[in-house]
Amino acid sequence: MPIQPPLTAAAISVQALNFAWASGETVLDHCTLSVPRGEFWMLLGTNGSGKSTLLRLLAGLLQPKSGAITIADRVGFVFQNPDHQLVMPTVGADIAFGLVSENLSYSETLLRVKESLRAVNLEQMIRRPIYALSGGQKQRVAIAGAIARNAEVLLLDEPTALLDGENQIDLVASVRDLVKQKNLTALWVTHRLKELDYADGAFLLERGRVVDQGDPIRLKQSLAED
């Protein structure tokens, strides 16, 4: 099923999406949600609820059984473990590698790399070896790579899972600020209720369906009481 650019004010729209593994196990069951342009939304749910699978469907890494996906043309995907997507030896080289298909000049590439690193406060690390970065810095490099490719939508699959408490909050606050400064749209998968403080809205996924959505603080309070 081809993924089409959205025709509405939503940057991400999913309608009655169904997905099952080859074994027949159903993961998403008539899943429906919509994320407005320029907003930072979070996707909550227990392990096995379908969160990561939904993100991979949105990124085009998997194909649904049925249903419809509309999403902005340029999508950046950030994995839970940044080591799965950082492939070059240095920060600047890794971001530049993602721009190869655009056939930019050296000066154009360098400008894109520097601007994207400036957006995540890592411009001074352009020559830093990837192995010398902390987990939080690696996630910022992955996000910078998406920004360099002019991504309109960021899909982030539990990007704070491998970080400690202080770095978790630092990263989520940085992404929130990026969304607002650059008019991006982001869907962030998490199970940490404290991260909801930074979101514009949230979805709760259970057994492949959205069972609640809206105000993140209300969802946070509701889930904390369960």
Q: Tell me: the pLDDT tens digits for 107-124?
A: 999 999 999 999 998 999
Q: Do residues 91 and 125 touch, judged by C-beta distance below 8 A?
A: yes
- Residue 24 CA to residue 46 CA, distance in Å, equals 21
What confidence tens digit (pLDDT) does each residue in 9-55 have? 899 999 999 999 999 899 999 999 999 999 999 999 988 899 999 99
Reported as a single tens digit per residue, the pLDDT across 58-73 is 999 999 999 999 998 8
d(CA 28, CA 86): 29
Whole-number Å distance between alpha carbons of 100 and 214: 39
Kindly state whether residue 161 falls inside one of the protein's structural domains: no
Domain count, the chain: 1
What is the average pLDDT value for the chain, to the nearest integer? 91
* Range with lowest mean pLDDT among 113-122, 128-137, 160-169, 174-183: 160-169
User: What confidence tier does 166 reach under pLDDT thresholds 50, 70, 90?
Assistant: confident
pLDDT band at residue 5 using 50, 70 and 90 as cut-offs: very low
Q: What is the pTM of this model?
A: 0.89
pLDDT surpassing 50 at residue 6: no
- Print the domain residue range for 38: 1-72+189-226
- Residue 2 in this model has a pLDDT that exceeds 80: no
Beta pairing, strands 209-214 & 201-206:
antiparallel
Q: Is 61 within a domain? A: yes
Q: Is residue 44 part of a domain?
A: yes
Report the range of poorest mean pLDDT among 2-6, 157-161, 200-204, 214-218: 2-6
Tell the burial category of 199 from Cβ atoms under 10 Å away from its Cβ (0-12, 13-18, 19+). Answer: buried
Instruction: Please tell me whether residue 178 adopts helix, strand or coil conformation.
Output: helix
Q: How far apart are CA 76 and CA 145, in angstroms?
A: 8
Question: For position 32, what pLDDT does the model report?
Answer: 96
Question: Which CATH number fits the domain that encloses residue 225?
Answer: 3.40.50.300
Task: Examine residue 113 and state whether it is found in any structural domain, yes or no.
Answer: no
Domain membership flag for residue 86? no
Please compute the mean of the pLDDT values over residues 166-177 and round it to a whole number.
Answer: 90
